[in-house]
C-alpha cells in the first residue's frame, strides 16, 4: 500500500484523533479519543495518541506476525503483521487516562489480503474502480456510544474487536477514517472524489495525499452544513433522535492504494 493522510482537528488544539502509517510493514491505524472525558478534566486525545504511538512500535515486534507466517519461519515479511496482536500489545502498554476507538489494517502483499481489526465507530471503506465494494461495520452500544478501549472498569478490551480478512487487488483504494469522516460523508460522495481525483493514478504518494486532503475537506464542509442529510443525521433518525446536517468533529483520513509486487 502507498499511503497519504490528513488530520483536521475541530479546533486549534491537538484534538482527540490520532493515527499512524508504517509503510515498511504495510500497516495503518486510526484512533479517536472519547470526548466525554473532558467533563472530568481528562484529555482523551492523550490516550489516543499514546495508543497509536504504541501501535507503531508494536508493528515492528516480530512476535506480532500471523501464525501462518510464523509456521513458515518468515518473521520479517512485508504485510505479515497481525493487527489483533498489535492491538493487544498496544492496549496493554497504553497507560494514559481516557478511552478511544481504534481501527488497524495490515496488508499481506504476498496474498493481497487486508486484515482488519476495529473497536468502535472508526472504520474503513474499500473502493475498486472508484466504486465502494466494502464498508466495515461499526460497534456501538447505542446511538453515538461506541465501543472504546481504555483502562477503566467499564471500558472495552481488545478481545471485543471486530475482525475481518478482505481480498484486495492492485489498484484498490482503502479509505480509513475516524467518525469525523464516516459521520459526514456517504460512500457515494467519496466515490465522486475518487473519480474527480483520478483514483490515485498520478504519482502514488502525492495522489493518495491529495485524495485524503480532498476527502477530509469535504467531510469538514459537510460537518458545518446544518441542512443537508448526513450519515450521522440518518443514524440519529433511525435511533429516534432529531438531528439535521453534519456533525462537527475531529477528522482523520488515510488513503491507501494497493499496488502490485
The string of pLDDT tens digits covering residues 9-60 is 998 789 999 999 999 999 999 999 998 888 889 999 999 999 999 999 999 9
Average pLDDT, the chain: 91
Q: Is the pLDDT of residue 69 over 70?
A: no
Q: What is the pLDDT of residues 166-197, one digit of tens each?
A: 999 999 999 999 999 999 999 999 999 999 98
Total domains in the chain come to 1
Q: pTM for the whole thing?
A: 0.92
Q: Grid coordinates representing 23?
A: 509503510
Question: What is the domain-level CATH number for residue 104?
Answer: 3.60.40.10
| Residue-number span of the structural domain to which 209 is assigned | 2-68+77-258
DSSP class per residue in 94-128: --SSSEEEEEEEEEETTTTEEEEEEESS-EEEEEE
Q: Above 70 in pLDDT, residue 2?
A: yes
Query: pLDDT tens, 128-162?
Result: 999 999 999 999 999 989 999 998 888 999 999 99
* Cα–Cα distance, 38 to 87 (Å, whole number): 25
Determine the pLDDT at residue 153.
Answer: 86
pLDDT (tens digit per residue) in 237-257: 999 999 999 999 999 999 999
Q: How many residues does the chain have?
A: 261
Amino acid at each position: 500500500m502507498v499511503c497519504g493522510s490528513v488530520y483536521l482537528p475541530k479546533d486549534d488544539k491537538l484534538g482527540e484523533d490520532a493515527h499512524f502509517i508504517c509503510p515498511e510493514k504495510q500497516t495503518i491505524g486510526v484512533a479517536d479519543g472519547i470526548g466525554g472525558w473532558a467533563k472530568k478534566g481528562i484529555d482523551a486525545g492523550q490516550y489516543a495518541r499514546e495508543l497509536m504511538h504504541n501501535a507503531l512500535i508494536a508493528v515492528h515486534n516480530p512476535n506480532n506476525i500471523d501464525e501462518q507466517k510464523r509456521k513458515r519461519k518468515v518473521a520479517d515479511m512485508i504485510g505479515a503483521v497481525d493487527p489483533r496482536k498489535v492491538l493487544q500489545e498496544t492496549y496493554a502498554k497504553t497507560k494514559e487516562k481516557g478511552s478511544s476507538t481504534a481501527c488497524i489494517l495490515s496488508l499481506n502483499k504476498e496474498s493481497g489480503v487486508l486484515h482488519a481489526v476495529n473497536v468502535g465507530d472508526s472504520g474503513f471503506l474499500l473502493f475498486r474502480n472508484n466504486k465502494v465494494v466494502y464498508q466495515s461495520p461499526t460497534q456501538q452500544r447505542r446511538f453515538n456510544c461506541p465501543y472504546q478501549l481504555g483502562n477503566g472498569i467499564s471500558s472495552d478490551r481488545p478481545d471485543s474487536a471486530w475482525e475481518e480478512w478482505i481480498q484486495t487487488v492492485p489498484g484498490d483504494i482503502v479509505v480509513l477514517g475516524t467518525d469525523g469522516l464516516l459521520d459526514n460523508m456517504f460512500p457515494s460522495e467519496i466515490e465522486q472524489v475518487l473519480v474527480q481525483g483520478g483514483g490515485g493514478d498520478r504519482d502514488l504518494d502525492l495522489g493518495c495525499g491529495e485524495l485524503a486532503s480532498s476527502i477530509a475537506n469535504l467531510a469538514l464542509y459537510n460537518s458545518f452544513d446544518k441542512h443537508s442529510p448526513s450519515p450521522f443525521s440518518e443514524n440519529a433518525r433511525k435511533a429516534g433522535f432529531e438531528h439535521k446536517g453534519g456533525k462537527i468533529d475531529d477528522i482523520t483520513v488515510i488513503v491507501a492504494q494497493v499496488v502490485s509486487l
